[in-house]
Chains A and B, each alone.
Chain A
Amino acid sequence: MAGQNDERKFPRREFLVRTLQLPCSAAVVTVLGPLALGSDAAAASQSGSETSEHYFGMGIQVDKCIGCGKCVEACKAENDVPREPYYFRTWVERYVIHNDGDVSVDSPEGGIRGFPLHEGESDVLRSFFVPKLCNQCDNPPCVQVCPVGATFKTDDGVVLVDSDYCIGCRYCIQACPYGARYLDPRTNTADKCTFCYHRITQGLLPACVEVCPTGARIFGELNALASPLRRLMRMSSLQVLKPALNTEPKVFYSKLDGEVR
Protein backbone atom coordinates (compact mmCIF):
# COMPACT_ATOMS: atom_id res chain seq x y z
CA MET A 1 0.00 0.00 0.00
CA ALA A 2 1.15 3.55 -0.71
CA GLY A 3 0.89 4.66 2.92
CA GLN A 4 3.14 1.87 4.12
CA ASN A 5 5.63 2.47 1.29
CA ASP A 6 5.87 6.20 1.95
CA GLU A 7 6.26 5.76 5.68
CA ARG A 8 9.72 7.25 5.71
CA LYS A 9 8.67 10.32 3.68
CA PHE A 10 5.77 11.11 6.03
CA PRO A 11 6.74 9.60 9.39
CA ARG A 12 4.15 8.99 12.08
CA ARG A 13 5.94 11.33 14.52
CA GLU A 14 5.72 14.30 12.14
CA PHE A 15 2.09 13.48 11.41
CA LEU A 16 1.21 13.52 15.13
CA VAL A 17 3.17 16.73 15.79
CA ARG A 18 1.45 18.53 12.94
CA THR A 19 -2.03 17.32 13.85
CA LEU A 20 -1.53 18.47 17.45
CA GLN A 21 -0.16 21.87 16.36
CA LEU A 22 -3.47 22.90 14.79
CA PRO A 23 -5.74 22.66 17.88
CA CYS A 24 -2.93 24.00 20.07
CA SER A 25 -2.48 27.14 17.98
CA ALA A 26 -6.27 27.58 17.80
CA ALA A 27 -6.46 27.35 21.58
CA VAL A 28 -3.68 29.93 21.96
CA VAL A 29 -5.53 32.34 19.66
CA THR A 30 -8.88 31.85 21.41
CA VAL A 31 -7.35 32.36 24.87
CA LEU A 32 -4.90 35.16 24.18
CA GLY A 33 -6.93 37.05 21.57
CA PRO A 34 -9.70 38.24 23.89
CA LEU A 35 -7.14 38.87 26.63
CA ALA A 36 -5.23 41.24 24.38
CA LEU A 37 -8.43 42.93 23.20
CA GLY A 38 -9.86 42.92 26.72
CA SER A 39 -6.87 44.77 28.12
CA ASP A 40 -7.49 47.52 25.52
CA ALA A 41 -11.16 47.75 26.50
CA ALA A 42 -10.29 47.80 30.20
CA ALA A 43 -7.79 50.61 29.64
CA ALA A 44 -10.39 52.61 27.73
CA SER A 45 -13.08 52.26 30.42
CA GLN A 46 -10.55 53.09 33.13
CA SER A 47 -9.54 56.33 31.44
CA GLY A 48 -13.27 57.07 30.99
CA SER A 49 -14.04 56.74 34.68
CA GLU A 50 -11.04 58.90 35.50
CA THR A 51 -12.29 61.77 33.36
CA SER A 52 -15.82 61.69 34.77
CA GLU A 53 -16.06 63.33 38.17
CA HIS A 54 -19.81 63.98 37.85
CA TYR A 55 -22.81 61.77 38.34
CA PHE A 56 -25.93 63.81 37.75
CA GLY A 57 -29.45 63.27 39.07
CA MET A 58 -32.64 65.20 39.74
CA GLY A 59 -35.09 65.37 42.61
CA ILE A 60 -38.70 66.50 42.16
CA GLN A 61 -40.82 67.60 45.10
CA VAL A 62 -44.35 66.85 43.94
CA ASP A 63 -45.93 68.85 46.76
CA LYS A 64 -44.20 72.02 45.54
CA CYS A 65 -45.25 71.89 41.88
CA ILE A 66 -47.87 74.53 41.05
CA GLY A 67 -48.42 73.45 37.44
CA CYS A 68 -47.41 76.81 35.97
CA GLY A 69 -45.71 75.16 32.97
CA LYS A 70 -42.68 77.47 33.08
CA CYS A 71 -40.39 74.42 32.94
CA VAL A 72 -42.05 73.19 29.73
CA GLU A 73 -41.72 76.62 28.14
CA ALA A 74 -38.09 77.02 29.23
CA CYS A 75 -37.19 73.53 28.01
CA LYS A 76 -38.65 74.18 24.58
CA ALA A 77 -36.90 77.55 24.30
CA GLU A 78 -33.54 76.32 25.57
CA ASN A 79 -33.38 73.14 23.52
CA ASP A 80 -35.18 74.26 20.37
CA VAL A 81 -37.88 71.61 20.78
CA PRO A 82 -40.63 71.83 18.11
CA ARG A 83 -43.51 73.97 19.37
CA GLU A 84 -46.23 71.51 18.29
CA PRO A 85 -47.95 70.08 21.35
CA TYR A 86 -46.70 66.52 20.87
CA TYR A 87 -42.97 67.09 21.26
CA PHE A 88 -41.75 67.40 24.84
CA ARG A 89 -38.54 66.82 26.71
CA THR A 90 -40.37 67.65 29.92
CA TRP A 91 -44.08 68.06 30.59
CA VAL A 92 -46.44 68.38 33.56
CA GLU A 93 -49.33 66.01 34.27
CA ARG A 94 -52.36 66.80 36.42
CA TYR A 95 -53.68 63.90 38.45
CA VAL A 96 -57.26 64.25 39.69
CA ILE A 97 -58.56 61.61 42.10
CA HIS A 98 -62.33 61.64 42.34
CA ASN A 99 -64.45 60.82 45.37
CA ASP A 100 -65.26 57.36 43.99
CA GLY A 101 -61.53 56.59 43.57
CA ASP A 102 -61.41 57.09 39.79
CA VAL A 103 -58.19 58.71 38.60
CA SER A 104 -58.04 61.04 35.62
CA VAL A 105 -54.78 62.38 34.22
CA ASP A 106 -54.52 65.27 31.78
CA SER A 107 -51.72 67.35 30.34
CA PRO A 108 -53.13 69.91 27.90
CA GLU A 109 -50.26 70.85 25.58
CA GLY A 110 -47.90 69.40 28.17
CA GLY A 111 -48.99 72.11 30.58
CA ILE A 112 -47.03 74.75 28.66
CA ARG A 113 -49.90 77.23 28.99
CA GLY A 114 -50.94 76.11 32.46
CA PHE A 115 -54.10 74.19 33.23
CA PRO A 116 -57.79 75.12 32.96
CA LEU A 117 -59.94 74.71 36.05
CA HIS A 118 -61.02 71.10 36.29
CA GLU A 119 -64.66 70.43 35.46
CA GLY A 120 -66.75 68.88 38.18
CA GLU A 121 -64.53 70.42 40.84
CA SER A 122 -66.79 69.38 43.71
CA ASP A 123 -66.22 65.70 42.87
CA VAL A 124 -62.46 65.97 43.49
CA LEU A 125 -60.99 64.12 46.46
CA ARG A 126 -57.45 65.30 45.83
CA SER A 127 -55.41 66.52 42.90
CA PHE A 128 -51.81 67.43 42.24
CA PHE A 129 -49.27 68.05 39.49
CA VAL A 130 -46.44 65.70 38.53
CA PRO A 131 -43.61 67.03 36.33
CA LYS A 132 -42.16 64.35 34.08
CA LEU A 133 -39.04 64.07 31.97
CA CYS A 134 -36.48 61.52 30.85
CA ASN A 135 -35.56 59.53 33.95
CA GLN A 136 -31.91 59.19 32.81
CA CYS A 137 -32.05 55.52 33.78
CA ASP A 138 -28.92 53.87 35.06
CA ASN A 139 -30.08 50.78 33.20
CA PRO A 140 -31.64 52.41 30.14
CA PRO A 141 -33.89 50.27 27.91
CA CYS A 142 -33.54 52.79 25.07
CA VAL A 143 -29.78 52.27 24.95
CA GLN A 144 -30.17 48.49 24.93
CA VAL A 145 -32.39 48.50 21.86
CA CYS A 146 -30.52 51.04 19.72
CA PRO A 147 -29.20 49.01 16.78
CA VAL A 148 -26.39 51.44 15.87
CA GLY A 149 -25.14 52.84 19.17
CA ALA A 150 -26.63 56.28 18.54
CA THR A 151 -28.02 56.61 22.05
CA PHE A 152 -25.75 56.01 24.98
CA LYS A 153 -25.05 56.70 28.62
CA THR A 154 -22.14 59.03 29.28
CA ASP A 155 -19.77 58.64 32.20
CA ASP A 156 -21.73 61.49 33.82
CA GLY A 157 -24.76 59.20 33.96
CA VAL A 158 -26.68 61.22 31.34
CA VAL A 159 -28.35 59.39 28.45
CA LEU A 160 -27.73 61.26 25.20
CA VAL A 161 -28.61 60.87 21.51
CA ASP A 162 -26.04 61.20 18.73
CA SER A 163 -28.25 62.84 16.10
CA ASP A 164 -25.56 62.49 13.41
CA TYR A 165 -25.56 58.74 13.89
CA CYS A 166 -29.25 58.05 14.64
CA ILE A 167 -31.04 56.29 11.78
CA GLY A 168 -34.53 57.22 13.02
CA CYS A 169 -35.74 53.65 13.48
CA ARG A 170 -37.86 54.61 16.54
CA TYR A 171 -36.92 51.48 18.54
CA CYS A 172 -35.87 53.65 21.47
CA ILE A 173 -39.17 55.55 21.43
CA GLN A 174 -40.98 52.22 21.70
CA ALA A 175 -38.64 50.95 24.40
CA CYS A 176 -38.86 53.94 26.75
CA PRO A 177 -41.34 53.02 29.50
CA TYR A 178 -41.75 56.69 30.46
CA GLY A 179 -42.72 58.05 27.04
CA ALA A 180 -39.84 60.50 27.29
CA ARG A 181 -38.63 60.33 23.68
CA TYR A 182 -39.89 61.79 20.44
CA LEU A 183 -38.84 61.80 16.81
CA ASP A 184 -37.74 65.27 15.78
CA PRO A 185 -39.73 65.96 12.59
CA ARG A 186 -37.00 68.22 11.17
CA THR A 187 -34.12 65.76 11.37
CA ASN A 188 -36.06 62.46 11.62
CA THR A 189 -33.87 61.47 14.54
CA ALA A 190 -34.83 60.52 18.07
CA ASP A 191 -34.51 63.22 20.70
CA LYS A 192 -35.00 63.52 24.44
CA CYS A 193 -34.08 65.39 27.60
CA THR A 194 -30.32 65.72 28.02
CA PHE A 195 -30.50 67.26 31.53
CA CYS A 196 -29.45 70.34 29.47
CA TYR A 197 -26.04 68.72 29.03
CA HIS A 198 -24.66 71.89 27.40
CA ARG A 199 -25.56 73.85 30.56
CA ILE A 200 -24.60 71.41 33.30
CA THR A 201 -21.15 70.84 31.79
CA GLN A 202 -20.61 74.61 32.19
CA GLY A 203 -21.79 74.68 35.80
CA LEU A 204 -25.27 76.03 35.05
CA LEU A 205 -28.53 74.39 36.10
CA PRO A 206 -30.83 72.74 33.57
CA ALA A 207 -33.30 75.29 32.16
CA CYS A 208 -36.33 73.69 33.85
CA VAL A 209 -34.60 73.79 37.24
CA GLU A 210 -33.43 77.37 36.65
CA VAL A 211 -36.96 78.67 36.03
CA CYS A 212 -38.96 76.54 38.49
CA PRO A 213 -40.49 79.30 40.65
CA THR A 214 -41.13 77.14 43.72
CA GLY A 215 -37.94 75.08 43.68
CA ALA A 216 -39.86 71.89 43.04
CA ARG A 217 -37.01 70.59 40.91
CA ILE A 218 -33.58 70.05 42.46
CA PHE A 219 -30.59 69.18 40.33
CA GLY A 220 -27.23 67.99 41.53
CA GLU A 221 -24.53 65.43 41.98
CA LEU A 222 -25.61 62.02 43.16
CA ASN A 223 -22.15 61.05 44.40
CA ALA A 224 -21.31 64.32 46.17
CA LEU A 225 -21.34 64.35 49.95
CA ALA A 226 -22.98 67.76 50.18
CA SER A 227 -25.32 68.98 47.47
CA PRO A 228 -28.92 70.18 47.48
CA LEU A 229 -29.92 66.90 45.89
CA ARG A 230 -28.15 64.83 48.53
CA ARG A 231 -29.87 66.89 51.19
CA LEU A 232 -33.26 66.14 49.62
CA MET A 233 -32.38 62.46 49.44
CA ARG A 234 -31.38 62.49 53.10
CA MET A 235 -34.37 64.42 54.36
CA SER A 236 -37.25 62.80 52.48
CA SER A 237 -38.30 59.38 51.41
CA LEU A 238 -37.97 59.12 47.67
CA GLN A 239 -39.69 57.10 45.00
CA VAL A 240 -38.96 56.50 41.34
CA LEU A 241 -41.42 55.88 38.53
CA LYS A 242 -42.08 52.23 37.62
CA PRO A 243 -39.47 50.76 39.99
CA ALA A 244 -40.51 47.20 39.06
CA LEU A 245 -38.99 47.66 35.59
CA ASN A 246 -35.51 47.79 37.16
CA THR A 247 -34.51 50.73 34.98
CA GLU A 248 -32.96 52.44 38.02
CA PRO A 249 -34.04 56.02 37.23
CA LYS A 250 -31.94 58.94 38.39
CA VAL A 251 -34.98 61.23 38.66
CA PHE A 252 -36.31 60.89 42.20
CA TYR A 253 -39.73 62.01 43.39
CA SER A 254 -40.64 62.97 46.94
CA LYS A 255 -44.23 62.96 48.25
CA LEU A 256 -45.32 60.99 45.21
CA ASP A 257 -48.92 59.77 45.39
CA GLY A 258 -49.46 56.04 45.03
CA GLU A 259 -51.69 56.64 42.01
CA VAL A 260 -48.87 58.06 39.86
CA ARG A 261 -47.74 55.79 37.05
Chain B
Amino acid sequence: MKIWRIPDQVIRLAVVLVAAVAVLVVVRGRFVPASFGETGHYRADAVDVVAAQPIRYAGSQICVECHDGEGEAKSGSFHRTVSCEVCHGPAAAHAEDFESQTPLIPRERGAECLSCHEYLSPRPTGFPQIIERLHNPLQPCIGCHDPHDPTPPEVPESCSACHAQIARTKAVSHHLTLECETCHDAQAEHREEPRSFLPRKPTAREFCGSCHSESADSPADIPRVDLRDHGERYLCWQCHYPHHPES
Protein backbone atom coordinates (compact mmCIF):
# COMPACT_ATOMS: atom_id res chain seq x y z
CA MET B 1 0.00 0.00 0.00
CA LYS B 2 1.37 3.42 -0.93
CA ILE B 3 1.96 5.86 1.92
CA TRP B 4 1.56 9.02 -0.22
CA ARG B 5 -1.48 8.37 -2.30
CA ILE B 6 -2.83 11.72 -3.50
CA PRO B 7 -6.48 11.85 -2.50
CA ASP B 8 -9.04 12.17 -5.31
CA GLN B 9 -10.46 15.44 -4.04
CA VAL B 10 -7.01 17.05 -4.13
CA ILE B 11 -6.53 15.97 -7.74
CA ARG B 12 -9.93 17.44 -8.68
CA LEU B 13 -9.10 20.69 -6.90
CA ALA B 14 -5.71 20.82 -8.63
CA VAL B 15 -7.33 20.38 -12.03
CA VAL B 16 -9.74 23.25 -11.28
CA LEU B 17 -6.87 25.40 -10.02
CA VAL B 18 -4.70 24.74 -13.07
CA ALA B 19 -7.66 25.50 -15.35
CA ALA B 20 -8.37 28.76 -13.49
CA VAL B 21 -4.71 29.84 -13.74
CA ALA B 22 -4.68 28.95 -17.44
CA VAL B 23 -7.84 31.01 -18.04
CA LEU B 24 -6.34 33.91 -16.08
CA VAL B 25 -3.11 33.81 -18.10
CA VAL B 26 -4.99 33.62 -21.41
CA VAL B 27 -7.45 36.39 -20.51
CA ARG B 28 -4.68 38.62 -19.16
CA GLY B 29 -2.62 38.10 -22.30
CA ARG B 30 -5.67 38.90 -24.38
CA PHE B 31 -6.76 42.09 -22.58
CA VAL B 32 -3.61 43.70 -21.18
CA PRO B 33 -2.08 45.82 -23.98
CA ALA B 34 1.35 44.82 -25.24
CA SER B 35 3.38 47.68 -23.78
CA PHE B 36 1.48 48.01 -20.50
CA GLY B 37 3.78 48.29 -17.50
CA GLU B 38 7.01 48.79 -19.44
CA THR B 39 7.68 52.17 -17.85
CA GLY B 40 4.95 52.36 -15.22
CA HIS B 41 1.31 51.51 -14.63
CA TYR B 42 0.29 52.59 -18.13
CA ARG B 43 0.59 51.68 -21.80
CA ALA B 44 4.04 52.87 -22.85
CA ASP B 45 2.93 53.16 -26.50
CA ALA B 46 0.36 55.81 -25.50
CA VAL B 47 3.20 58.33 -25.10
CA ASP B 48 4.05 57.91 -28.80
CA VAL B 49 0.38 58.22 -29.75
CA VAL B 50 0.11 61.58 -27.93
CA ALA B 51 3.43 62.74 -29.38
CA ALA B 52 2.28 61.93 -32.93
CA GLN B 53 -0.52 64.55 -32.88
CA PRO B 54 -0.24 66.96 -35.85
CA ILE B 55 1.30 70.42 -35.33
CA ARG B 56 -0.77 73.47 -36.33
CA TYR B 57 1.37 76.38 -35.06
CA ALA B 58 4.68 76.41 -36.89
CA GLY B 59 6.56 78.85 -34.63
CA SER B 60 7.89 82.24 -35.68
CA GLN B 61 11.41 80.90 -36.33
CA ILE B 62 10.05 79.14 -39.42
CA CYS B 63 8.10 82.24 -40.54
CA VAL B 64 11.13 84.53 -40.62
CA GLU B 65 13.08 82.08 -42.79
CA CYS B 66 11.04 83.41 -45.74
CA HIS B 67 9.53 86.63 -44.35
CA ASP B 68 12.86 88.01 -43.16
CA GLY B 69 11.89 91.66 -43.78
CA GLU B 70 8.92 91.45 -41.43
CA GLY B 71 10.99 89.55 -38.91
CA GLU B 72 13.69 92.20 -39.03
CA ALA B 73 11.19 95.04 -38.56
CA LYS B 74 9.48 93.25 -35.71
CA SER B 75 12.66 92.26 -33.87
CA GLY B 76 13.43 95.84 -32.83
CA SER B 77 9.88 97.01 -32.26
CA PHE B 78 7.42 96.98 -29.40
CA HIS B 79 5.98 93.82 -30.97
CA ARG B 80 9.25 91.86 -30.71
CA THR B 81 7.73 89.39 -28.24
CA VAL B 82 4.59 88.96 -30.34
CA SER B 83 4.83 85.78 -32.39
CA CYS B 84 3.71 86.00 -36.04
CA GLU B 85 0.89 83.52 -35.46
CA VAL B 86 -0.72 85.70 -32.77
CA CYS B 87 -2.21 87.87 -35.54
CA HIS B 88 -1.85 85.61 -38.59
CA GLY B 89 -3.29 82.45 -37.06
CA PRO B 90 -1.90 78.90 -37.11
CA ALA B 91 0.46 78.64 -40.09
CA ALA B 92 2.01 75.17 -40.07
CA ALA B 93 -0.06 74.29 -43.15
CA HIS B 94 1.19 77.45 -44.88
CA ALA B 95 4.80 76.58 -43.97
CA GLU B 96 4.31 73.15 -45.58
CA ASP B 97 2.60 74.44 -48.73
CA PHE B 98 2.78 78.19 -49.11
CA GLU B 99 1.05 78.31 -52.50
CA SER B 100 -2.34 76.89 -51.61
CA GLN B 101 -2.50 77.64 -47.87
CA THR B 102 -2.78 81.31 -46.94
CA PRO B 103 -2.69 82.47 -43.33
CA LEU B 104 -4.92 85.24 -41.99
CA ILE B 105 -3.95 88.77 -43.00
CA PRO B 106 -6.06 91.04 -40.77
CA ARG B 107 -6.41 94.52 -42.23
CA GLU B 108 -9.65 95.81 -40.73
CA ARG B 109 -10.01 97.67 -37.48
CA GLY B 110 -11.18 94.95 -35.17
CA ALA B 111 -10.50 92.08 -32.87
CA GLU B 112 -6.92 91.34 -33.93
CA CYS B 113 -5.61 94.66 -32.55
CA LEU B 114 -8.30 95.38 -29.98
CA SER B 115 -8.17 92.01 -28.22
CA CYS B 116 -4.89 93.24 -26.75
CA HIS B 117 -5.15 97.03 -26.92
CA GLU B 118 -8.73 97.86 -25.90
CA TYR B 119 -8.79 99.42 -22.43
CA LEU B 120 -9.46 96.98 -19.59
CA SER B 121 -8.61 97.85 -16.00
CA PRO B 122 -6.98 94.47 -15.17
CA ARG B 123 -4.38 95.03 -17.89
CA PRO B 124 -0.96 95.86 -16.47
CA THR B 125 -0.10 99.49 -15.92
CA GLY B 126 1.91 100.89 -18.83
CA PHE B 127 0.50 98.47 -21.39
CA PRO B 128 -0.66 100.62 -24.34
CA GLN B 129 -4.46 100.71 -24.43
CA ILE B 130 -7.06 102.75 -26.25
CA ILE B 131 -10.76 103.30 -25.76
CA GLU B 132 -11.94 102.09 -29.13
CA ARG B 133 -14.92 104.37 -29.60
CA LEU B 134 -12.84 107.48 -28.80
CA HIS B 135 -9.64 106.61 -30.68
CA ASN B 136 -9.93 107.74 -34.35
CA PRO B 137 -13.29 106.03 -34.95
CA LEU B 138 -13.76 103.95 -38.11
CA GLN B 139 -10.11 104.29 -39.16
CA PRO B 140 -8.27 101.00 -39.74
CA CYS B 141 -5.46 100.56 -37.20
CA ILE B 142 -2.87 99.82 -39.92
CA GLY B 143 -3.63 103.21 -41.53
CA CYS B 144 -1.44 104.83 -38.86
CA HIS B 145 0.40 101.94 -37.15
CA ASP B 146 2.63 99.42 -38.91
CA PRO B 147 1.72 96.20 -37.11
CA HIS B 148 5.30 94.90 -37.48
CA ASP B 149 6.69 98.11 -35.92
CA PRO B 150 3.77 99.75 -34.14
CA THR B 151 5.50 102.78 -32.63
CA PRO B 152 2.74 105.42 -32.41
CA PRO B 153 2.97 107.97 -35.24
CA GLU B 154 2.71 110.73 -32.69
CA VAL B 155 4.15 110.69 -29.22
CA PRO B 156 1.25 110.38 -26.75
CA GLU B 157 0.32 113.74 -25.26
CA SER B 158 -1.27 112.56 -22.06
CA CYS B 159 0.03 110.09 -19.52
CA SER B 160 -3.37 108.34 -19.64
CA ALA B 161 -2.67 107.15 -23.19
CA CYS B 162 -0.52 104.44 -21.66
CA HIS B 163 -1.36 104.59 -17.96
CA ALA B 164 -5.11 104.32 -18.46
CA GLN B 165 -5.67 102.22 -15.36
CA ILE B 166 -4.02 104.76 -13.08
CA ALA B 167 -5.73 107.68 -14.83
CA ARG B 168 -9.12 106.05 -14.37
CA THR B 169 -8.49 105.25 -10.74
CA LYS B 170 -7.26 108.76 -10.03
CA ALA B 171 -10.25 110.28 -11.81
CA VAL B 172 -12.63 109.05 -9.09
CA SER B 173 -10.35 109.91 -6.17
CA HIS B 174 -9.72 113.12 -4.23
CA HIS B 175 -6.47 113.44 -6.14
CA LEU B 176 -8.26 113.89 -9.49
CA THR B 177 -7.17 117.49 -9.95
CA LEU B 178 -3.49 116.75 -9.37
CA GLU B 179 -1.39 116.52 -12.52
CA CYS B 180 0.84 113.44 -12.80
CA GLU B 181 3.84 115.80 -12.82
CA THR B 182 2.89 117.06 -9.35
CA CYS B 183 4.39 113.88 -7.91
CA HIS B 184 6.27 112.27 -10.85
CA ASP B 185 9.18 114.01 -12.48
CA ALA B 186 8.96 112.54 -16.00
CA GLN B 187 11.68 113.45 -18.46
CA ALA B 188 10.60 114.24 -22.02
CA GLU B 189 12.44 111.14 -23.26
CA HIS B 190 10.08 108.91 -21.28
CA ARG B 191 7.39 109.51 -23.89
CA GLU B 192 9.56 108.08 -26.66
CA GLU B 193 11.48 105.39 -24.81
CA PRO B 194 9.32 104.65 -21.80
CA ARG B 195 11.44 101.88 -20.31
CA SER B 196 14.80 103.57 -20.75
CA PHE B 197 13.77 106.79 -18.99
CA LEU B 198 11.63 105.97 -16.00
CA PRO B 199 9.80 108.82 -14.24
CA ARG B 200 10.85 109.47 -10.68
CA LYS B 201 8.59 108.89 -7.70
CA PRO B 202 8.58 110.72 -4.34
CA THR B 203 11.05 109.23 -1.89
CA ALA B 204 10.24 110.90 1.46
CA ARG B 205 7.29 111.42 3.81
CA GLU B 206 7.86 115.14 3.65
CA PHE B 207 6.73 115.16 0.01
CA CYS B 208 3.16 114.19 0.99
CA GLY B 209 3.58 116.36 4.07
CA SER B 210 3.91 119.44 1.86
CA CYS B 211 0.11 119.26 1.50
CA HIS B 212 -1.01 117.01 4.35
CA SER B 213 1.10 118.06 7.35
CA GLU B 214 -0.21 120.28 10.14
CA SER B 215 2.05 123.13 9.09
CA ALA B 216 1.48 122.85 5.29
CA ASP B 217 0.53 125.87 3.28
CA SER B 218 -2.42 124.25 1.48
CA PRO B 219 -6.24 124.67 1.29
CA ALA B 220 -8.00 124.19 4.62
CA ASP B 221 -10.23 121.26 3.50
CA ILE B 222 -7.26 118.95 2.84
CA PRO B 223 -6.94 116.26 5.53
CA ARG B 224 -4.02 116.96 7.89
CA VAL B 225 -1.87 114.66 9.97
CA ASP B 226 0.92 115.30 12.41
CA LEU B 227 3.90 113.75 10.63
CA ARG B 228 5.71 113.26 13.94
CA ASP B 229 3.21 110.78 15.40
CA HIS B 230 1.18 109.55 12.38
CA GLY B 231 2.65 106.24 11.21
CA GLU B 232 6.15 107.48 11.79
CA ARG B 233 7.71 104.10 11.01
CA TYR B 234 6.31 104.01 7.47
CA LEU B 235 6.44 105.93 4.21
CA CYS B 236 3.01 107.36 3.30
CA TRP B 237 2.47 105.07 0.29
CA GLN B 238 3.16 101.95 2.28
CA CYS B 239 -0.33 102.40 3.79
CA HIS B 240 -2.12 104.80 1.38
CA TYR B 241 -2.38 104.32 -2.41
CA PRO B 242 -1.57 107.78 -3.80
CA HIS B 243 -3.74 107.37 -6.93
CA HIS B 244 -6.76 106.52 -4.80
CA PRO B 245 -5.97 107.61 -1.23
CA GLU B 246 -9.44 106.73 0.06
CA SER B 247 -8.97 103.01 -0.49
Q: Which of B13-21, B43-51, B195-203, B218-226 contacts A (4 or more CB under 8 A)?
A: B43-51
Question: Which of chain B's residues 25-77 have a Cβ closer than 8 Å to chain A?
Answer: 33, 36-43, 46-47, 49-57, 59-60
Contact between B83 and A152 (Cβ–Cβ < 8 Å)? no
Q: Please, how many residues of chain B have a CB less than 8 angstroms from a CB on the other chain?
A: 47
The answer to whether A99 and B247 touch (CB under 8 A), given A74-B90, A149-B42, A198-B53, is yes
Question: Hey, which bits of chain B sit against chain A, CB under 8 A?
Answer: 1, 3, 33, 36-43, 46-47, 49-57, 59-60, 79, 81-83, 85-86, 89-90, 111, 114-116, 118-124, 127, 168, 172, 247
The residue of chain B having its C-beta at the shortest distance from the C-beta of A47 within the complex is B39
Known A48-B39, A66-B127, A149-B41: A94·B59 in contact at CB below 8 Å? no
Residues A197 and B57 in contact, CB atoms below 8 Å apart: no
| Nearest CB in chain A: distance from B7 CB, A | 15
Contact B57–A210 (Cβ < 8 Å): yes
Residues of A within 8 A of B56 (CB): 77-78, 207
Give the number of residues in A that approach B within 8 Å (Cβ atoms). 62
Any B CB within 8 A of the CB of A124: yes
Measured in the bound complex, the distance between the Cα atoms of B1 and A10 in whole Å is 12
Kindly state whether residue A79 has any CB partner on chain B within 8 Å.
Answer: yes
- Of B57, B81, B172, chain A has the most CB atoms within 10 Å of the CB of B57
Verify A125–B33 contact, CB threshold 8 A: no
B39 touches A44 (CB 8 A): yes
Q: Cβ of A198 and Cβ of B51 under 8 Å apart?
A: yes
Q: Is the CB of A70 within 8 A of B86?
A: yes
Which residues of A are found within 8 Å of B124, using beta-carbon distances? 63-66
Q: Are A122 and B172 in contact (CB under 8 A)?
A: yes
Interface status of A68 (Cβ within 8 A of chain B): yes
Which B residues are CB-close (under 8 A) to A155?
A: 39
B52 pairs with A124, CB closer than 8 A: no
Report if A149-B121 is in contact (Cβ < 8 Å); known contacts: A70-B86, A162-B49, A211-B57: no
Chain A residues within 8 Å of B1, by CB? 9
Chain A 81-96 interface 0/1 with B at a Cβ cutoff of 8 Å (1 = within): 0000000000000111
The verdict on A213 contacting B116 (CB below 8 Å), with A94-B122, A198-B50, A198-B52 known, is: yes
